[in-house]
Structure 1
């Protein structure tokens, strides 16, 4: 095969941090090349170097593309050579149509006048290539995330892409959409498009990749030929630098007294008056117990959690929440926190963190009274608290003054957890607690959850990953169409049993 891309001894430094240290990457024409590594390993930084986001001159090393030395100084430079990167956070304008997004900055115009007929015709051709049947005039904010990913790929194809880079493309997708996207990558490969996929989901790496490069702590660790077969344990060992015989840490299960009860909980949609989203749900959580909630996307899991936590979602909410047998007021978020509840949202970047503020600022945000006197914040007390949780949770950062937007996904999740642990909850509700983080960071989050249960806290875990629920939970409630359709103990639970409850109810 012919080498399309070679990155030699790439080194990239930021103030106080060496993000990449003599990294090497070689990609052959027409292959799908996976880059694996923990959050913060340097995967995305390497791709930003390649695409010109970090321009030539801001890093050491050399890039050879299509047989020639390449010095890209901007995204437009790399795109002009057929290199297109699709970031994990999609770069679409919600208020514009599919056609307008695809040709944004690359408009089909003559003499400054848009050629809409040509734009829509070309859009239809591109949408057909990616298997999207929506009309070119459809507004992007009216389609789901899975379809938005396909629009991004159609946009890339409009630029005559030769090397397509996808950074965690399935992180926000449900299983069916993920598989469609992976199959599309295989189709593009058959059409001669070379792909690089950054992913921590080893199952999908095995499904599509021809070659795998593993990066750890900013350095290249290994290059594996997937066509000869891949062992997930081998990749995990290279990613984290240690054997992980067990994906879930051991835990002694000791459930105590009932700490929280939810009785007859009903919730209606905040905008559609006639639509009931949560229907007469009752459940309980014991001290020291991890209780899972399983269900397909749209089953109402997040809506249930948010409505319990200060009624932050929904309307006409009825039912009762008890802590230690006594009814508590959860009608507002501050009252829910005072009662002893905490909620770690599935959307940490929009709802869980203030991204352009420091770790210190975010850590104390839910319990400012503890770090203030007479309404005046104590910076010293804030720093002490943030440092204590940084050490306790193993957050990787040079300083608690670091902005959280500069942290990896796993470390951002630790900051969210620190914020709510400092609030001192009796029950912690975790909504997709390991979404978008790698296998090594997942293990660390699981260990934190186990420590909480060992302290006698009640934990509710919502997850779309069945193995995660099966590996962590003492009991699992199964949810479908806004109602609980079954309850399984850890001994009874299996992926087959859970799916059977969902599809037969």
Structure 2
């Protein structure tokens, strides 16, 4: 049993946790929720020995402990599985499982390779994973890597496993496998701290929820005794109303037309239209080819065949620069590696795609630059100490807003959004949904890729569904259900709309 009480932590005088408490029982799955920046990660880093607390007390099974390093926490069975999985892709499954704990023949340093592979097979088998231990880890799906991380924790005699956004990159099938594994380990007395912004998952897998807001403890609730609206109100300190804002769709003429677009080995003969003022959802399981289509439209990938038309005219998009010249913006799936320069300031990131508007004769006009940045910080409600703050120090939701600002500054006619709310808290999601609606109402044609079916149904005017590189379904707003979309995502026949 874990008891944390009066936990306080500050960085450079900025208090990020103030008198926070948390309890975890044996064999419990306990959700830790709050908006980005609420202090969830800091709290778990204190529990796992990455950070030291400034004040407060931690008890494990009734005994006061003071962790000075992750090894101290690991000795008592507390292990964190981070959102960015700690796998070395070029090593085998067995090598990853025994990394730093290799079995050797005495002091010779010679590895007991066969024994490690045998034990790896046995361990993975217990978790329902039939994988050759000699397999290169980088060749496995993210879902299987996630299970291997759990196996690695079990091999270290984990009693408490902290999971941070564990399903962010998993398919529905992989999520179900993960949940089954978690439930089986729970039955054996292992406890989980489950950090996620996906409310449906919290209610499906967890026993209790502890809520943090602005670095302070708000309360704890038993899952059967609470509901979505109460949890949201506790997280943001206010009622959010409807989860997805209502929008009056005013859909105009066709802006983008795709005819038989193909990239060999990725997707084949894709044809669809996107209209002015429309939010067109793109659904499908991981590996369906959704992101690859977006990358091709933006010139990151070269099409093998097919045509792209804008305003009825064929265009030749060979690079992102070509795409931008044709009025296309692209908010990428992975903001940290593809959407932002983390060591740059907010100002530098926002103006990265807009230097032509802030410069004359090759010299940046500081007044214009500052004016543009101030406008988007205010309009998008970016929480920051100022435009010169480094983007890497912002919460996930505010980082996503910076990416949006970067592209809004280009005034795009077509905006591609790939997983626009991944890793974003419920309050920031609502604000992003409002921005999407405002853009659509202003006539921007929006292509929105999302793995979250409630988001697709709540935001899209129409949805196309992909499966293994092919278009298998097209569904109008009034016909959208999770069941029909999933049917097409797993190989249903294409629907002919009347």
Would you say the 8 A contact 1:107–1:114 is kept in 2?
A: yes
What is the aligned counterpart of 2:270 among 268, 281, 285? 281
1:190 counterpart (187, 190, 213):
187
Q: TM-score, normalised by structure 2?
A: 0.94
Q: Equivalents in 2 of 1:32, 1:479: separation in Å?
A: 34
**Following TM superposition, by how much is the alpha carbon of 1:129 offset from its aligned partner in structure 2, in angstroms?**
2.5
1:478 paired to 2:457: no
Take 2:69 and 2:386, find their aligned partners in 1: how far apart are those partners?
Answer: 30
Asked if the contact 1:329/1:339 (under 8 Å) is kept, the reply is: no
- 1:414 to partner: Cα distance: 0.8
Contact map agreement 2:261 2:303 (CA 8 A) in 1: no
- Alignment pair present for 1:442 and 2:429: yes
Partners of 1:25 and 1:500 lie apart in 2 by 41
Aligned to 1:255: 251
**Cα distance per residue 1:279-312 (max 9 Å; x no partner):** 22222222211111222222221111111111x1
Q: Give, in whole Å, the separation in 1 of the partners of 2:374 and 2:99.
A: 45
Q: Which residue of 2 aligns with 1:33?
A: 30
Alignment of 1:151-300 (within 5 A): 151-226=148-223, 228-268=224-264, 275=265, 277-300=266-289
Alignment correspondent of 2:324: 337
Q: Which residue of 2 aligns with 1:83?
A: 78
CA distance 1:367–1:33, change in 2 (3 Å) = same
Matched, 1:504 2:492: yes
| 1:372-391 correspondence to structure 2 within 5 Å | 372-391=359-378
Q: Which residue of 1 aligns with 2:301?
A: 313
Instruction: Give the 3-state SS of the residue equivalent to 2:342 in structure 1.
Output: coil
Note the residue ranges of structure 2 that are not aligned, 5 or more in a row. Answer: 494-498
Deviation larger for 172-181 or 366-375: 366-375
Alignment RMSD, CA only?
Answer: 1.8
Would you say 1:429 and 2:416 are equivalent positions? yes
Q: How does 1:315-464 map to 2 (within 5 A)?
A: 315-316=303-304, 318-464=305-451
How far apart are residue 400 of structure 1 and its match?
2.2
Structure-1 residue corresponding to 2:131: 134
Counterpart of 2:17?
20
Q: Give the superposition deviation at 1:343.
A: 1.1
Q: C-alpha distance in 2, partners of 1:66/1:379?
A: 58
Q: 1:30 and 1:201 mapped to 2: Cα distance? A: 22
Q: Residues of 2 paired with 1:501 and 1:68: CA distance?
A: 54
CA drift at 1:211 = 1.7
8 Å CA contact 2:3–2:24 kept in 1: the answer is yes
- Sort the Cα spacing of 1:100 and 1:481 in 2 relative to 1 into closer, same or farther, 3 A: closer
SS at 1:346 equivalent: coil
Equivalence for 2:119? 122
Q: Which stretches in structure 1 are left out of the alignment for 5+ residues?
A: 269-274
The secondary structure found in structure 2 opposite 1:491 is helix
* CA spacing shift, 1:183–1:230, aligned 2, 3 Å: farther
C-alpha displacement of 1:479: 2.3
Contact 2:302 2:318 in 1 (8 A): no
How far off is 1:266 after superposition?
2.0
Asked if structure 1 preserves the Cα contact closer than 8 Å seen for 2:142 and 2:169, the reply is yes
| Selected match of 1:52 from 23, 37, 49 | 49
Report the TM-score when normalising by structure 1.
0.93
Superposed displacement of residue 463, structure 1 = 1.2
Inter-CA distance 122–484: structure 2 relative to 1 (3 Å threshold): closer
* Deviation digits for residues 378-433 of structure 1 (CA, Å, limit 9, x no counterpart): 45543332222111111112222222222222111111111111122100011111
1:314 Cα offset (Å): 4.5
Q: Which secondary structure does the structure 2 equivalent of 1:425 belong to?
A: coil
- 1:161, distance to aligned residue in structure 2 (A): 1.0
Question: Helix, strand or coil: the match of 2:32?
Answer: strand
* 1:74 matches 2:69: yes
Secondary structure of 2:479's counterpart equals coil
SS at match of 1:213: strand
1:196/1:279 CA distance change after superposition, 3 Å: same
- Determine which of 127, 140, 145 is the counterpart of 1:143: 140
Distance in 1 of aligned mates of 2:150 and 2:468:
32
> Does structure 2 retain, via aligned residues, the 8 Å contact 1:303–1:314?
no
Map Cα deviations across residues 199-223 of structure 1 (whole Å, 9 max, x no partner): 2222222222222111111111111
Q: CA deviation at 1:55?
A: 2.4
Deviations 1:413-472 (A, max 9, x none): 111111111122100011111122222221111011011112111111111222211111
2:454 & 2:155 partners in 1: Cα distance? 39
